[in-house]
Structures are given as structure tokens and as C-alpha cells.
Amino acid sequence: MNQSRAFQIEYHQFLDPDGVPVGDLPPLAEETEALQALYRNMVFTRLYDERAIALQRTGQLGTFASSLGQEAIGAGVGHAMRPEDIILPSFRENGALLFRHFRVRDLLLYWGGDERGMANPKLGDDFPICVPIATHTTQATGVAFAIKYRKQPRVVVCLLGDGGTSKGDFYEAINLAGAWNLPLVFVINNNQWAISVPRNLQSRAETLAQKAIAAGIPGVQLDGNDPIAVRHYVAEAIEKARDGGGPTLIEAISYRLCHHTTADDATRYRSEEELEAHRRLDPVPRLRRFMERRQIWSEEQETRLIQACQAEIEQEVRHYLDTPPQKPESMFDSLYAELPRELQAQRQSLLGKEVNHD
């Protein structure tokens, strides 16, 4: 029998877990300001995570999804995008959103149940955080089609988790992106756990990147704990899409060092040994070690950075806590251009209860 086609998935990594180069480095590795921006974003994201969890544990925030251990993906994606590009995030891309003018107060408002957190005018056309799994992937194809139809030099970046690649929405989205050659980059944050389901039970596919093959688009796999690799290959895929080269699917392999959310207890389904093995792959100290060897980062800079990040986060937390609660009737106000009669009655009933209560 003759072979009709042969496919392969490339795996990319520039830094090993100790921050030591494993081969030739891209030009990004010589850009001190860019490396320091990536590092600051990862440190800031981690400190924000810690503060958000503390707020949740003290009843001042709703359920929260941490990105502990996966900061390189958000930082790399956010830094690679241009301001005019459009992001459709899942719920674990805090670092990318912080590069996109989302403020800590915005994110806290969102996780506090206040939709005004996604209404900052500076967010432009960026989409709000999507909690339903993979539903935003088909929306991403629609957005990408719109900017292609309008001949705009913009690119859409859609981030999702490994569990999302098992959903029908995902397959429909990558198929359409390929068929229409859309300016769209899918980035899979493969943190190896879809809540309590491990990666090896989610799919028999050897890699998640190879799912791109059936859609006729390039699929690449990279070390998602290597910030330089994420930044380099996401930027490469974005610029290819901007030049008319079509979509790319990127699988960034990382690991969820935290619980799925603050409503989860990961100790029930994974071992401490597994967790400890992945702590050694942590992306934050990896980039720090690399910069220290290059003598572009010091202990003094580290101390100043942490103090500055903590001060900024505390200021943002104060903004969040001081924000007056959203009015209950606002839940009706963004659903329709003209509210249906039944919902008008519900809105009036709600207002009436408030009046009676007062």
C-alpha cells in the first residue's frame, strides 16, 4: 500500500527548566526590555493570583481560576499581539489580558460577579472572559471572518484549554478557519488537566497540535513554560496570519500547579509527587535564571519589582473594594436592544421589590 500523505508535528523549546539555552536563540533573546517586560508580567500575574485567592477565601470575591504555573503562555501571547489585534480569552489568561489594558480592578470586578469589569472602554474590540468551554472558538472564526471581509490588517487570537479541544465547537472552528483561510491563531493552554480529567483520558491523539492536520492548517507544539518560545512562535503565527498566510494552531504544554478553581480540590485526583515534578518546570524562575546569567537581572531589581507590583495590586484591590455594587436590574440592560415584554415585567417586578424593601 502506498502512503498518500505524511504529517509531523514540530516541538519547540529554547530554554530548559534551568533557563539554559538548548540551541540557537531567536533575536528576542537579545532584547533586554522585551525579556524584562515578559518577566514583569509573569511576576505581576502570580502576585495578582495570590491576592485574588486571598480575597476569595475571605468572602470578598467569587469563584476564581488561577493561572499558577502557566504564566508564560499569557505573557507570551499578550506581548506578541499588536494593540489593533483582537483577543478571545478563556478564563486562565490573566497575563495576556494585563498586556491588553485589562486592569486588576476589571478582573476582580468580573470574578466578583460584576459585568462592568469587562466594560473598560480601553479594551476596544477585545472580548470578555469566556467561562463556557470552547464556545468562544466559533465566535473567533466569526470575528476573523469579519476583519478579513473588511480587509483590516488585524489578527484574532483565541486561547482555550486542553479540555476545550474535545468539544465540537473547537473542531468546527478550526475547520472553518482553514477553509476560509482566516487571520486567526488558536493557542491551546495544555495544562494537562480538564478539571479532574487528565490529558491521557481526554483524547487518544498523541498531541493536541495534530488536530490541526484534519483542518488543513499548521499545528505546532511548544514548551509552554518557556516564555521565549511562546513569545517567538505566537508572534510568528500572528504575523503570518496578518500577511494572509491563514490560521495556525499552537499547543503550549504547561501544567496547572493550582486547583482548577477555588471551588476545586485537586488533592482528590492527583498526587503530590506529580505536582512536585512539575514545580521544577516553573516558568518564572526559568526566565529569571536566564536573565541573571545574561547579567540583565539582579537581586536588587527583583526586590524592587515585587514591591512595585504589590503596591500596584493593592491600589487596584482598593478600587475594586470601593466600587459601589452593580444595580440588580442591570442584568436586564445588555441582553436586547429592546427588552421583550416578559423581561420588562420581570425588571419592573425587581424594581418594585427594591422599593418595597426600602
Q: What share of the chain is helix, strand, coil (3-state, %, to 5)?
A: 50, 10, 40
Give 92's Cβ-side CA count (13 Å radius).
Answer: 35
> What is the Cβ-side half-sphere exposure of residue 321, based on CA atoms within 13 angstroms?
13
- Helix axis angle, 227-242 to 283-293, nearest 10°: 100
How far apart CA 175 and CA 181 sit, in angstroms, is 10
Question: CB-side exposure of 312: number of CA atoms within 13 Å?
Answer: 16
How far from the centroid of its chain's Cα atoms is residue 201's Cα? 23
Grid cell in block for residue 125: 474590540
* CA 84 – CA 104 distance, rounded (Å): 21
- In the annotation, is 260 catalytic? yes
The rounded distance, in Å, linking the Cα atoms of 318 and 254 is 32
Active site residue 256: yes
Residue in 105, 231, 260, 286 annotated catalytic: 260
Q: Which three cell numbers stand for residue 300?
A: 536588587
Residue 111 grid cell: 470574578
The greatest distance separating any two alpha carbons of the chain, rounded to the nearest whole angstrom, comes to: 80
CA distance 159 to 251: 10
Contacts of 319 (CB under 8 A, 6+ apart): 105
Q: Is 318 a catalytic residue?
A: no
Give the DSSP H/E element, type plus range, for residue 274. helix 272-279
Q: Which among 57, 82, 269, 294 is annotated as catalytic?
A: 269
Cα distances from 211 to residues 93, 98, 188, 240, in angstroms, run 22, 29, 11, 20
Helix, coil or strand: residue 186? strand
The residue from 46, 51, 232, 256 that is catalytic is 256
Active site residues: 256, 260, 269
